[in-house]
Structure 1
């Protein structure tokens, strides 16, 4: 009819908003709580025993709180089942060693292993709360918080009382490498080495002011790493960078150029390298005493670890058994007062046997394959692969590996990175990167 209003057509339904994976029957406050607890882990690991009393300190309390939250509101994932299986195997072997009267009966070490594996299990169960972002933010705070103390240590050659058990006291201008609240500069070097790629890569998913703070913290961590003189941490960072470079065409050419330069340097210093190799072979094979130098002592400690692994291949010598047998003497190598393995891989293989070591290596290979097959987040997945490859090198950093909060923090970060990269968990915090890193 002329002048009449046409009947309205059918309305289009608006697309439904994507559900927020962090919301649900637990409310919107839970993501903030989980994020704060996860983000506090790097700071708590940095403070170590200074943030607590005796065996009870902040890092362990935070991990236990995360485990409780993971039990209450976490979601099952096949990776969490795999980690639980590894925990049953590892703790079962350690407990069996103790029951059978093995040389090592250190329950505190077994408890530390259980806590580290529980932390990995918790962050996988809480993966929808984006633990990687919060770990990066916490690592940023740890780097910046440690900067004034590290600068004071380097400039004055003075340290906190826990530094190297007070070995620096009365020796001015000798011990300059910073460790802040940690007991050893090598542990601090591990935190800084991990911070450099973690903060540089994760900054791409942050807002503008957080992005620049993370970039500045990554640069600061790089400088502090150099000040620590932590050679194993530097080597681990170089290995992770090499893995990342090997994943791209241009990077491979850079890697070839670096390899050529290294070959040239080795050729120039060939005599010194041959002498070092001769000393290492002499210590390991012929039990020679080459003095208390770092190279010869570490070679002797590696020889002890290999000998114990060969003698007790299945179950090992038990938690803490390496130190107990070295103190008892009679192994044939001169360790010049050093009683700890100084290498996490041999610490695990000698004390818990090749069954646990093989299972742990299999878990790392499975994680690396899952990350590669996911093909998510541009080139950042290759940094994750690089980090997994660098973990054995990082285990060279300190005398003992399994009882350190810094070690447990590395495990937690590895689980969070692999789970986030392999499953591409949606996150309300994540922003698309500007470019592949």
Structure 2
């Protein structure tokens, strides 16, 4: 590493809280599927900022929308109307079939907003006794890092020494419809779940699971809340991951790719019954629904559809998955994926996945480890067949090495 890289990393370590452990590259530029570090080395981005940069780095049409809006009006707060919010509502509702939209900023804010909304619905519509609302969640979930959310995490690293935590959550195994049925009581207001557990290592539930989940929630008047912050907007080869089983959630959470990586934008999408319980003064956000965010989000979803990124994710995801499964390496325990949300789980004896991610960096690929032995692979949805094949060659070379 050059002295400038060492200096920047050292300065970051000196002044910053040590709540991340980045891979060594110091990035300074991005375009499409590629990023460059300050020394001019080019990498294929196989993380996409945890799926936030699905449309590719610095997409020119999203950039143009951001610059144009930034020159006109950036923030009014929701104390006043702005000329972008209604258009964003109309376009996201038309795209997803939603009836009501609540705009927020981060994905975690969207999750917190959904929790508040379904509880309020439970008390005011379902008739749950005050203070007794229950929300069912899954083990190994990842819905964000706020205090309310980590309270129902099962990951010790996210929970230890952050309590006490709020009550009102039940934890069941992911992919087990019978466990959901057993957990539901008259006080259950919602089931909050990811269609695919990405942070846990791209864990895909059994076929038919969400069909059963939908039936159980409907039969028991329980709101199905799907956290599609990472799986949504084309990542799995469908607009929403729920479409793989032909179901509809009562509440859908979007974020990350909703802005194409330019700006924090998230949204709670729901029916009139749930979001209709909110009244002025009961929930809000200074930046939520601001004109800059809305203009950026409108451009982000427009290019996603107009440029065929969702269909490309399905095609290239299938190609990538097949190629990963064809790699004959003793290090690989399992390959999983749907669309361009992919993972390679290594045998424990192969060593930490981080070592393989560091080796991949040396071959021009940036990927990220999760849960010690799994490499996640999630390139921007604009990746081409040639780029997939280029990546597969380097992955095959790296994964056949013994780095234990």
What is the TM-score normalised by the length of structure 2?
A: 0.33
Higher normalized strand content (fraction of residues): 2
Higher normalized helix content (fraction of residues): 1
